[in-house]
Chains A and B, each alone.
Chain A
Amino acid sequence: MIRPAIEIHDLTVAYREKPVLWDIDAVIPVGSLCAIVGPNGAGKSTLLSAILGTIRPASGWLKIFDKPLESSEELIGFVPQRESVDWDFPVEVLDVVLMGTYSQLGWFRRPGKAQRDWAMECLEAVGMTDLRQRQVGELSGGQQQRVFIARALAQDSQLILMDEPFAGVDAATEEAIRTVLEDLKKKGRTVVLVHHDLQTIEQFFDHVLLLNLRLVAAGPTSETFTRENLMRTYGGRLTLLDEAAEAVRRIRTGRTRIGRELE
Chain B
Amino acid sequence: MISPNTLVILLGTTALGTCCGIIGALMLLRRRALLADAIAHSTLPGICIAFLLANSRSVVALGTGALVSALVAAALVAWLPRVSRIRKDAATACVLGVMFGAGIALVGLIQRSGSGGSAAGLDGLLLGRTAGMLRSEALIFGCAAIVMSLIVFALRKELLVSCFDPRFGTSSRIPTRSIDLLQTSLLAVTIVIALPAVGVVLTAALVVIPAASARFWTDRFDSLLRISALLGAGSGILGTLISTSHPDLPAGPVIVLSATGFFAVSLLLAPRRGLLSRHLLARSRSRKRTIRHLLDAILDAQLQGQMQIAIAQIPESAHCTDLRSIEYSVQSGWVRREGDLISLTETGRIRATRARKALEIWREWLTSEASIDRDLIDLDEVEIEKILSPELIDTLQRSIDERERS
| Chain A interface (Cβ < 8 Å from any Cβ of B) | 49, 52-54, 75-76, 78, 80, 84-86, 89-92, 95-96, 98-100, 102-103, 105, 107-108, 110-111, 135, 137, 140-141, 151, 155, 170-171
Contacts and interface: CB of A to CB of B under 8 A. Distances in A.
Contacts, number: 85
B402 interface: no
Given A99-B165, A140-B373, A90 B221 contact: yes
A127 to B, nearest CB: 13
B406 interface: no
Contacts of A53: 170-171
B220 A100 contact: no
Interface residues of B, number: 32
Contact of B371 (A49, A102, A170): A170
Contacts of B164: 85-86, 89, 91, 96, 99
27 contacts: A52-B170, A53-B170, A54-B171, A75-B172, A76-B171, A78-B171, A80-B168, A85-B164, A90-B215, A90-B219, A90-B224, A91-B160, A91-B164, A92-B219, A95-B160, A98-B157, A99-B157, A99-B161, A102-B161, A102-B172, A102-B174, A107-B158, A110-B156, A137-B219, A141-B373, A151-B168, A170-B371
B31 interface: yes
Given A90-B220, A91-B221, A96-B164, A155 B172 contact: yes
Chain A to chain B: the 4 pairs with minimum beta-carbon distance, closest first: A135-B219, A103-B172, A52-B171, A78-B171
B220 A92 contact: yes
Contacts of B112: none
Interface in B163-203: 163-165, 167-174
User: Chain B binding site: helix, strand, loop or mixed by DSSP?
Assistant: helix
Interface of B: 29, 31, 154-158, 160-161, 163-165, 167-174, 215, 218-221, 223-224, 369, 371-373, 376
* Of listed B155, B160, B169, residue having the most chain A CB within 10 A: B160
Contact of A110 (B157, B165, B168, B170): B157
A197 to B, nearest CB: 15
B377 to A, nearest CB: 13
A75 B174 CA distance: 11
A111 B157 contact: yes
A86 B31 contact: yes
Contacts of B168: 78, 80, 99, 151
A108 B221 contact: no
Nearest to B82: A16
B212 to A, nearest CB: 12
B154 A108 contact: yes
A88 B262 CA distance: 22
Nearest to A135: B219
A72 to B, nearest CB: 11
Contacts of B223: 90
B167 A54 contact: yes
Nearest to A78: B171
A51 B202 CA distance: 45
A75 B173 contact: yes
A86 B174 CA distance: 19
A103 B161 CA distance: 11
Contact of B221 (A86, A95, A141): A95
Contacts of A107: 158
B193 to A, nearest CB: 25
A175 B154 CA distance: 39
B26 to A, nearest CB: 12
Contact of B174 (A76, A103, A140): A103
A170 B372 CA distance: 8
A5 to B, nearest CB: 16
A84 B165 contact: yes
A20 B300 CA distance: 65
A85 B161 CA distance: 11
* Of listed B168, B215, B371, B373, residue having the most chain A CB within 10 A: B168
A25 to B, nearest CB: 23
